[in-house]
Amino acid sequence: MLIVQKYGGTSVGSVERIKAVAQRIGQTVAQGHQCVVVVSAMGHTTDNLIELAKQISSRPSAREMDMLLTTGEQVSIALLSMALQEQGHAAVSMTGWQAGIRTEAVHGKARIEAIDTDKIRRLLDAGNIVIVAGFQGVTETGEITTLGRGGSDTTAVALAAALKADLCEIYTDVTGVFTTDPRIVPEARKLPVVSYDEMLEMAILGAGVLHPRSVECAKLYGVKLVVRSSFTDETGTIIQEVSPVEQSLVVTGIAFDDDVVKVQVDGLPSDSGALARLFTLLAEQRINVDVIVQSQRSENEINLAFSIAEDDRVRAEETLAARRESLGFRHVAFEAGLAKVSIVGAGMMTNPGVAAMCFRYLSEAGIPIKMVTTSEIKVSCVIPRDRMEEAVNRLHNAFGLADESPSS
Ligand code: ADP
Ligand code: ASP
Ligand code: MG
């Protein structure tokens, strides 16, 4: 079999850990498999590099940030390759560009466009273990890019798809995908199987265990994906296509995102052109808009509330202030310190009333709901950040996620 394995930051966080990872890869190879390995930067390297940049500039150029951050992964591929060689294996490390990972020309959150796998194939066929730097690629014109925080998962899945690998294993510091983050809810339960769609929602809604793009890519190309621990041999979670009939749980998991800013724009002209202009402007500034709530203010005016991430707040403030007249709204206000808590489950499609239950559980605890958004398989509520952990625990409990039995 051809297996792509990915090891995250904690899994390669020290020399001892790198040696342990090399052992694990050695075991896979000893079973007769070919192995491509994707690694993240060691431990908190990426955070530390970001911190260094902040000490130099409050607005470092996106190009130089990518140049800086990609060094983290370059350290771990070389060290892991050395560790494998030390254990008697043939191993070769490759940066993203050497591995042929081409991305769009966007710094900081580029998407992979194509992978030229010739070089990796040749190295594999010559009997090497190939170690590829996660989270990075190169544009058509040779610029180095990164895929966004947590992007090494996407490197691994995209490589598995391009190489038509039999399996993609994501090794991390938890034993699988849980009903919610086990750090916040100790009773959270490991899920043996999760569908691509539910996993995608969970990832988009903040479950940091997998980069959203990696799940999207796995679904698109039918990559068999497993999340498991690099610290134990426990079986992990399989992410695959699951037919609705097999899904017994109404709510599968709870995700949360503690980085939410609410933007309230009041008195916008009620023609649809104004809405289009406002959101086009934000998109041009690459400001990601999430929950959007619109209400009628008067015959000719609407009020609008939407959410963005803290990182985009200053740019949004500047953009909206500069364009208040041309957009024609009366007033804008920003409310930071919010969080979004979401319940996810494919079973919701056929079970009306889940949203009502969710609102009731939160209101019984006196947790104010600022904004709401729903889809067929999720309900999200924006609430104060300081009530987030309480809300997650309450909902986890109320929907019976800690028990083995399906929720009602
Ligand atoms: P890595 O460095 O291996 O990529 P991450 O920190 O990116 O690891 O992802 C693993 C973390 O994801 C876990 O330590 C856990 O705190 C967090 N997490 C959030 N939601 C979930 C969930 N539903 N199941 C498992 N882990 C989760
Ligand atoms: N090192 C990068 C990060 O910390 C990418 C990754 O770990 O997946 O975000
Ligand atoms: Mg990660």
Q: Which of the four pLDDT bands, split at 50, 70 and 90, describes residue 244?
A: low
Find out whether 105 and 10 touch, Cβ atoms under 8 Å.
no
Task: Calculate the average pLDDT of the chain.
Answer: 95
Q: Give Cα 1 distance to the centre of its chain.
A: 28
Residue 178 has pLDDT above 70, yes or no: yes
Q: Is 40 in the pocket of ligand 2 (CB under 6 A)?
A: yes
What is the four-CA torsion angle of 316, 321, 323, 324, rounded to 10 degrees?
120
Q: Which of the four pLDDT bands, split at 50, 70 and 90, describes residue 336?
A: very high
What pLDDT, on a 0 to 100 scale, did the predictor assign at position 245? Answer: 59
Q: Could you report the per-residue pLDDT of 105-160, keeping only the tens digit for each?
A: 999 999 999 999 999 999 999 999 999 999 999 999 999 999 999 999 999 999 99
Residue 407 has pLDDT above 70, yes or no: no
Residue 305 has pLDDT above 50, yes or no: yes
CA nearest 343: which of 301, 302, 283, 394? Answer: 394
Tell me how far apart the alpha carbons of residues 63 and 373 are, in angstroms, rounded to a whole number: 35
Ligand 1: centre distance to CA 395 (Å): 19
| Nearest residue (CA) to ligand 2, atom 9 | 149
What pLDDT, on a 0 to 100 scale, did the predictor assign at position 272? Answer: 80
CA nearest 15: which of 72, 111, 83? Answer: 83
Residue 329 has pLDDT above 60, yes or no: yes
Q: How many CB atoms lie within 10 A of CB 71?
A: 15
What pLDDT, on a 0 to 100 scale, did the predictor assign at position 387? Answer: 98
Residue 95 has pLDDT above 60, yes or no: yes
| Nearest residue (CA) to ligand 1, atom 21 | 181
What is the four-CA torsion angle of 220, 224, 230, 232, rounded to 10 degrees?
140
Is 355 exposed, middle or buried, given 0-12, 13-18 or 19+ CB atoms closer than 10 A? middle
Residue 40 has pLDDT above 60, yes or no: yes
Give the residue-averaged pLDDT of 155-170. 98
Q: Is 41 in the pocket of ligand 2 (CB under 6 A)?
A: yes
Q: Which of the four pLDDT bands, split at 50, 70 and 90, describes residue 271?
A: confident
Q: Is 72 in the pocket of ligand 2 (CB under 6 A)?
A: yes
Residue 29 has pLDDT above 60, yes or no: yes
What is the four-CA torsion angle of 212, 213, 217, 219, rounded to 10 degrees?
20
pTM exceeds 0.85, yes or no: yes
Q: Could you report the per-residue pLDDT of 248-259, keeping only the tens digit for each?
A: 678 999 999 999
Residue 34 has pLDDT above 90, yes or no: yes
Helices (H) and strands (E) in the chain, counts: 12, 18
Q: Could you report the per-residue pLDDT of 64-74, keeping only the tens digit for each?
A: 999 999 999 99
Percentage of residues in the chain having pLDDT higher than 90: 91
Tell me how far apart the alpha carbons of residues 114 and 162 are, in angstroms, rounded to a whole number: 8
Helix (H) or strand (E) holding 139: none
Instruction: Name the pairing type of β-strands 331-344 and 378-384.
Output: antiparallel
Tell me how far apart the alpha carbons of residues 353 and 332 are, in angstroms, rounded to a whole number: 34
Residue 408 has pLDDT above 60, yes or no: no
Pocket of ligand 1 (CB under 6 A): 8-11, 40, 150, 172-174, 177-178, 180-181, 183, 207-209, 253
Q: Greatest CA separation found in the chain?
A: 76
Give the residue-averaged pLDDT of 342-371. 92
DSSP letter string over 333-363?
Answer: EEEEEEEEEEEE-GGGGG-TTHHHHHHHHHH
Coil, strand, or helix at residue 14? coil
Tell me how far apart the alpha carbons of residues 155 and 219 are, in angstroms, rounded to a whole number: 15
Using H for helix, E for strand and C for coil, what is the string for 81-122?
HHHHHHCCCCEEEECCCCCCEEECCCCCCCCEEEECCHHHHH
Rg (CA), the chain: 23
**From the alpha carbon of 227, which atom of ligand 1 is closest?**
25
Tell me how far apart the alpha carbons of residues 381 and 387 are, in angstroms, rounded to a whole number: 12
Task: Looking at the CA of 9, name the nearest ligand.
Answer: 1
Q: Could you report the per-residue pLDDT of 181-231, keeping only the tens digit for each?
A: 999 999 999 999 999 999 999 999 999 999 999 999 999 999 999 999 999
The DSSP bridge partners found for residue 269 are: 301
Position with higher pLDDT, 285 vs 43: 43
Ligand 1: centre distance to CA 174 (Å): 7
Find out whether 381 and 340 touch, Cβ atoms under 8 Å.
yes
